[in-house]
Amino acid sequence: MEYISIGGVKIEKTAALAPMASVADRAYRGVCKEYGAAYMVSEMISAKGMCYSDRKTEELCTVLESERPYALQLFGEDPEFVGRAAGMLMKYKPDIIDINMGCPVPKIAGNGSGSALMKNPELAAEIVRSTVKNSDVPVTVKFRKGWDENNVNAVEFAVLMEQAGASAVTIHGRTKNQMYQGKADWDIIKKVKDAVKIPVIGNGDVVSPETAEEMYRYTGCDLVMIGRGSYGKPWLFKQIKHYLETGEKLPDPTLEERLDAMMHQAEMAVEYKGVRMAMSELRRQCAFYLRGMPGAAALRNRCGSLSCMDDLKAIRDEVLRGAEK
């Protein structure tokens, strides 16, 4: 097995789980880790929320020891707040602090955070310097190809982040305006890799063992990161690891194994968040597990009204009964 090092943090060179708000929570990260995800990044943590002791922020910072190596990800547009928040995160003992400079959603970018920072590289660099100054662990930055096709500055941005003290960068090969549409540009990932000496993590359009291997080969990136490609199939991390090690593709899990993974994630979510919040968030996530099954559309609609574990168990049992006919 090959490894990469981010500021001394050793990570298997297989596949990492991307930070995804309202998806990559402790429960989902836990399932992905069990299937071999090499590296975890938390959901976005508001720097100002951290500084003002917001209760929801506390939950986002709580990470299981079994998730190591892991990063806590901050977002914010004020160097002082982000730096101070990084110092406060040290009590949670993360292996890495990641700064989000790629989120495209309006409520983040519209406030000058996330991908909006790509329009102000000097401010972004100041945020990195402030974070490095206040952090006892390596600091990394996740960003995009650029704001739009007329403002593609990922290469210059990556160089600035390296100069400011970042120990690694993650680049998503889409612009802010693309959101999650269209094709990810792997050429820009390759250009970033060629421009910096620190590790580069590639993100975008990895959906299978073959595409993971292709991203490594085409871009030369140091680590592959998977976001939406893992929805409803956390076993993808196991398949990628096996494929990279042996060249052989593992079969997809059985129907029962797929449903067991769904139930396992749901049980952990309820344990961590309580029934009401967990089931609300699981409505979308459980629907992903049911894709491609007979009657999947109707089953996904039922997921939209999940209120307790018995509701989910009823869906599982119905799927299994249907498979026996």
Q: What is the distance, to the nearest Å, from the Cα of residue 184 to the centroid of all Cα atoms in its chain?
A: 16
Query: Identity (one letter) of the amino acid at 12?
Result: E
Give 117's contacts (C-beta < 8 A, 6+ positions apart). 77, 101, 123, 124, 127, 143
Q: What is the distance, to the nearest Å, from the Cα of residue 99 to the centroid of all Cα atoms in its chain?
A: 12
Separation of alpha carbons 232 and 289, rounded Å: 4
Closest among 202, 109, 101, 196 to 155, alpha carbons compared: 196
Closest among 71, 243, 241 to 170, alpha carbons compared: 71
In contact, 76 and 48? CB cutoff 8 Å: yes
Question: Per this entry, what is the length of the chain?
Answer: 325
Which of the following is catalytic: 32, 103, 221, 286? 103
Torsion 17-18-20-25 (CA) sign = positive
**β-bridge mates for residue 100, sequence order:** 142
Q: Active site includes 103?
A: yes
In contact, 41 and 67? CB cutoff 8 Å: no
CB atoms near residue 245 (< 10 Å):
11
Give 219's contacts (C-beta < 8 A, 6+ positions apart). 186, 189, 190, 193, 200, 202
Enzyme catalytic residues: 103
